[in-house]
Structure formats: C-alpha cells, structure tokens
Amino acid sequence: MKHTFRWFGPNDPVTLAEIRQTDATGIVTALHHIPNGAVWPIEEIRKRQAMIREAGLTWSVVESVPIHEHIKWNGPLRDEAVANYAQTLRNLGNCGLKTVCYNFMPVIDWARTDQRHPLPTGGYAMRFDFAAHAAFDLFVLRRADAESDYTEEDRARATAWWENADDAAKAALTETVLIGLPGSSESYDLDTLRAGLALYDGIDADTLRRNLTAFLRDVVPAAEEAGIRLAIHPDDPPRPLFGLPRVVSTEADVENLLEAKPSWANGLTLCVGSFGSVATNDVVAMTQRFARHIYFAHLRNVTLESDGKSFFEDSHIDGGVEMVAVIQALVTEEQRRRRDGEEASEIPMRPDHGHFLLDDLRRPTYPGYALVGRMKGLAQLRGVELAVTRLLSQQAERPCPQEHE
C-alpha cells in the first residue's frame, strides 16, 4: 500500500519535514483556504504540489474537496456548486492528481465529545460519549423535538451526565462539538449550528440519498474525463446526529451508492473506525466485498463501549475490528489489480486519529492529528502489512498438494 500522512497545509503545526521522518511517502491534503463551493485554480493546486515535492514527498490523495451544503439539501446554489466541483475535478486531473476523498455528511462532519480521554498508559484518545452528545443536544443546543430522537434510557443517561458534570466539563463538551473541521476556517457557534440544522427541516434519509445520487450522476462523468477516482468517506459516527440523516453508514448504503452511478470513478474510502463504530457492520466482510471499489483507506480502530453507542479511538491494531484481516483483504486486492494489469493497483492508506503521546502533549495540534500518535500507528500498520504480504507470498509459492489415487 502507499503509506501516507494527513497534512493540513502551511498552517499545520506538524511540518512536512517531520512527516518525512515518519516513513510516510505520500501526503493527503486539501486547499483549505479556498471557500467551499469555489473552483480550485490550477495555479493553487500546482503551488501546493511544488511545496510537497520540495519536501521529498508526493501529493497522493486529495482530502477533501468539500461538498457545498446547497448540494446536500438541494438549495438555490446547488447547480453552480456542482459545476464548480466538476471543474475542480478537471483541474486536479490536469495536475496529475488521481484520487479525491469526500463525504456527504450534512452540517456536522466527524463528531466527538471528548478530545482528551485518558488512557491507562498515560496518553489520550478521542471519545464519543453518546450520553454527553445527547446532553448537548437536549440541554445546550435545546433542539426542538430532540426528545423524540432518544429513548427513555438515553434521556435518563443524558440527564445524569448533565447533572454530574461541572461547568468546565460542560464548556469542554460545547467547544468539542462546535470545533469544526481541522484545517478549515469553518466552525460553529450555537446560533450558526441551529441555522445550519434548520436548512434540513423535512429532509429525511431518502431525500438526502436522492441528492447524493443526483450529485454523483452530475460529477462522475467529469471525474471520468479527468481520470479521477472519487472515494466517499463513510459517516462518522454512522448514526443520525441532531436529527440529521446519514446515508453512508452501512453495507446496504455502500451498495446503494455504487449502484447509483456505476463507474470505475465512483468508489469508496474504507474508514475502518467509522464503519466499526456500530456493532452491526462486519468491516472485514465489507472490505472483502467492496475491495474492487476501495481507492483509499483510513486504518484506525475504535472500541465500542457497553451501551453500544459510545466508543473511543483505540490504537490502530487494537479495537473492535480485526485490523490484520482488513489489511490482508486490501493487500490481496492490490495483488489482484497487479495480476489484471490495472494501472492504479496501489491503495493509499493513512493512520488516522492517533493518540496524544509523549511530545504531542506539549505541542499544539489538531484534534486527532498528533504527530507521535500517528507515527506509532503508521509503524504498527506497516508491520502488519509486511507480515501479511510475506505470508501471502509464501502461500503462493507453496506447491499445491497432489491428490493420492
């Protein structure tokens, strides 16, 4: 696999020179300074490519070209935003970039309730506490009709969390929920979050799915023209949040997505941690089933907690998903692509959401994107990949047993 590292551009406290020391050879980045919905100019793309190339690395994956909210809820700027997205894909293809990761999560991207969940070893992880999330929704955001989205037990746990939390914990929860995306200028306060949610009044999962299908039918031809592989990122976590539907959460969702616009350009980002955040997803089986459509992999892991809705970011090779089996399925797919003579045989992967460890605790960083924690994860994943690759090679060289007459 192609070993990559997420970098949020010149303002990222983790530098390209530091990433070079992690054994990553590829960079995953985006032009975060360009507003959502605007065309990425070729000169800006090439400027970023040159910066990465001068550091001895390559720009391997674009993550992400954000989807304008008007595309998701079919607003008045929808057609203009789609046309601009298609032109950005053409510009990226013109510059030699081949893989674009994106997501279709309304308003809120990946969501956590705790940036610094303590680990037994002394480091910290990110965590999603469903009771804390519900408490924010019910008692901070005070969303209309929020109570109907939670069971009686959910509401009781949320109330208990709220009553036992001090002011500092409540403030930290609010800050974490509203923090926005790493590397992005976009963030929320309570009023702007409420306004964003209001745009989706009356939009259910079926409507959002239709809007995603319409987007794919419009932009996949441009991606084909540009030689771009689109790789959608699943919902994180894969469940409705704040009354918003989620439509890339399950095996059935992925099947619907691929059937909506069949094309080599319409593919998947395998995020092990996202799909693994609900117990009903068999992530190993999904990797095997959709292997031909996986163009990018986020290899992180989570451990589900007793309520089945909360989780914390575990180390990359621990957690609820058998990472060795996932990597074996990806390596097997790469071998198939090489046998079949496919040009894009290598699957870029990156360690995602590393723990805060050692010097990470004394330097500024984006939530989930600590340097040492991700470097540890990359080393673990590369070791598993090497072992799997050699084992598969040995099995292929072993002669088949002869049947005795």
pLDDT at 400 over 90: no
Mean pLDDT throughout 325-343? 96
> Beta strands 124-128 and 229-232: pairing type?
unpaired
The single-letter DSSP state of residue 172 is H
Structure tokens at 24: 């990553």
**pLDDT single digits (tens) 58-89:** 999 999 899 999 999 999 999 999 999 999 99
Residue 184 has pLDDT above 60, yes or no: no
Active site residue 233: yes
Q: In what order do the strands lie in the sheet with 301-304?
A: 114-118, 124-128, 311-314, 301-304
pLDDT in tens, 369-380: 999 999 999 999
Active site residue 400: no
Active-site residue (options: 70, 117, 233, 316): 233
Q: What is the pLDDT of residue 180?
A: 65
- Asked if 375 and 325 count as a contact pair (C-beta separation under 8 A), the reply is no
Is 3 catalytic? The answer is: no
pLDDT, residue 373, reads 97
pTM for the predicted model, two decimal places: 0.95
Check if 68 is active-site.
no
Both tokens assigned to 368 = 């989930």
Q: Compute CA distances 41 → 63, 82, 90, whole Å.
A: 16, 16, 10
Four-residue CA torsion sign, 69, 73, 76, 79: positive
Q: CB within 8 A of 123, min separation 6: which ones?
A: 355, 356, 357, 358, 360, 361, 373
What amino acid occupies position 299?
A: L
Amino acid identity, position 127 = R
Q: Using the predicted structure, report yes or no on whether residue 312 has a pLDDT greater than 60.
A: yes
> In this model, does residue 183 exceed pLDDT 70?
no
Q: How big is the CA angle at 180 (ends 272 and 246), to the nearest 5 degrees?
A: 50
Cα–Cα separations (whole angstroms), residue 218 to 92, 158, 197, 254: 17, 42, 25, 19
Q: What is the pLDDT of residue 366?
A: 86
For the record, the structure tokens of 169 come out as 């914990």
From the list 117, 271, 314, 360, the catalytic residue is: 271
Of residues 32, 353, 355, 360, which has the active-site annotation?
Answer: 353
Confidence of residue 122 (pLDDT cuts 50, 70, 90): very high
Domains assigned to the chain: 2-397 (3.20.20.150)
- Residues 50-61 have a mean pLDDT of 98
β-bridge partners, 4:
26
Arithmetic mean of pLDDT, 238-265: 96
Binning pLDDT at 50, 70 and 90, where does residue 134 land?
very high
Q: What is the pLDDT of residue 104?
A: 97
**Annotated active-site residue in 3, 293, 298, 355:** 298
Quote the mean pLDDT of the chain.
Answer: 94
Residue 98's pLDDT is 97
271 is catalytic: yes
Q: What is the pLDDT of residues 377-392, one digit of tens each?
A: 999 999 999 999 999 9
pLDDT for residue 401 = 63
Task: Please say if the pLDDT value at position 215 is more than 90.
Answer: yes
pLDDT band at 405 (very low <50, low <70, confident <90, very high): very low
Question: Residue 397 is which amino acid?
Answer: E
pLDDT for residue 272 is more than 60: yes
Task: Give the mean model confidence (pLDDT) for residues 5-22.
Answer: 96
Among candidate residues 238, 277, 273, 237, the one with its CA nearest the CA of residue 254: 238
Which value, in Å, is the radius of gyration of the alpha carbons in the chain? Answer: 21
Which of 278, 329, 279, 338 is CA-nearest to residue 299?
Answer: 329
Active site residue 298: yes
